[in-house]
Amino acid sequence: MKQGRSWLLLCGHVFLCLSAISALATPDVPAGQRPGCPANCGDVDIPFPFGIGERCALHSGFKLNCTIINGTTKALNGNIEVTKISVPKSKIWIKTTMSRQCYFPATRSMNYSDAWVNFTNTPFSISEVDNKIVVIGCNALAYMTSASYVIGCYSTCKDATLENGKCSGAGCCQADVPKDIQYYKAYFDENYNTTKIWKNNPCNYMALMEKAAFSFNTSYVESKVFGETYKWLVPLVANWKIRPWSCEVARKNMTSYACVSSHSECVDSTTNMPGYHCKCSKGYKGNPYITAGCQDVDECLENAANPCGHGICENTPGNYSCSCHLGNHMTDGFCVPIRKSPHFPAAPVVGVFFSLMKMNIDGRKKG
């Protein structure tokens, strides 16, 4: 991939490109940011390699704009809202549109709104671990297409009992997200719609969204509650990588190599697409992308429970050691009392002493 290519997230359907109105916060360190660069935008921490503007980002793929929209400060990558960034997990949380298929009585026709997301030529890919394909409706067949996949499911209310929290075909169905997806577009099969049931079930929905943020409610099929609950934007989790190179290739150019902190490591992508990210070594935490960003973890204070049990915990660089209090010793990693040596009973000794005295007295009498 050529350097200098603009890496911007693209998102389809009724998303407008909004002109940026700078509203930059200035705290440092908490998010692990470069000196002089904003560490947050509104309520969102902005850790490096992400940054507000070209100067503060590692490259254009991680550039964000801090923008005021309707009185609220938001972090945007391209025209997509970013709500959370995790350096240890190499993940980003964003908001994307949902697809919907609704009957309009005024025109006596179905109205379609198909969502799409395009991460091509960006550091991002859709997380197959954190997301699900969800279809909601009483007569809905919807699916997502990508470069290599067509995946979807059918949802119905006919002869079915709908239950809150259950999404297995009755009013709601779901499907797994394929691995290594950077692009998808949603579609509805027009042969399945709400034309005959619109008075009670006006809309069908399809969303590729974070599975931890979704729980089916039976009211979702009866009105526009689903769309209104999420304000027509659903959370999506994406993986990110530094560049489309392996660790071996990346280390050959230390000028652009991103794992700059001491006590940091390079990790190759586990997907079929090449790439790498960085992590702090075991026993350290922080931001591996900035100088001295990985700091020692004090295991003795990190957890509520003493890792040495009833022993003495001593923090060491990247690790810790355990020792025992006086009167105890270490056995299989646990401090146990030292067993005292057995003593001979006192009575027999005293008996022998008295016997010797008696023998001595008798001998003196005989003398």
Model confidence over 226-277: pLDDT tens digits?
A: 999 999 999 999 999 999 999 999 999 999 999 999 999 999 998 878 999 9
User: What pLDDT, on a 0 to 100 scale, did the predictor assign at position 341?
Assistant: 67
- 196 within some domain: yes
Q: Per residue in 129-172, pLDDT tens?
A: 999 999 999 999 999 999 889 999 999 999 999 999 999 999 99
Q: Is 184 part of a structural domain of the chain?
A: yes
Name the pLDDT band for 18 (thresholds 50, 70, 90).
Answer: very low
Residue 363 lies inside a defined structural domain of this protein: no
Under the banding of pLDDT at 50, 70 and 90, the label for residue 32 is confident
Residues 127 and 235 in one domain: yes
Based on the structure, what is the number of domains in the chain? 4
**Are 225 and 257 within one domain?**
no
- Contact in structure between 207 and 157 (CB atoms under 8 Å): no
CATH of the domain at 345: 2.10.25
- Give residue 174's pLDDT: 97
Does 221 share its domain with 263?
A: no
Q: Are residues 133 and 152 in the same domain?
A: yes
In a domain, 5, yes or no: no
Same domain, 103 and 228: yes
Query: Over the stretch 182-206, which tens digit does the pLDDT of each residue have?
Result: 999 999 999 999 999 999 999 999 9
Are 306 and 280 found together in one domain? no
| Assigned domain for 218 exists | yes
Q: Which residue range is the domain that position 338 belongs to? A: 300-355
If asked whether residues 228 and 265 sit together in one domain, one would say no
- The answer to whether residues 108 and 221 belong to one domain is yes
Residues 233 and 143 in one domain: yes
Residue 6 has pLDDT above 90, yes or no: no
In-domain check, residue 330: yes
pLDDT score of 88 more than 90: yes
pLDDT of residue 34: 84
- Do 150 and 219 sit in the same domain of this protein? yes
Q: Which two tokens stand for residue 249?
A: 């290739």
Judge whether 365 lies within some domain.
no
- Among the candidates 216, 239, 262, a domain finishes at 239
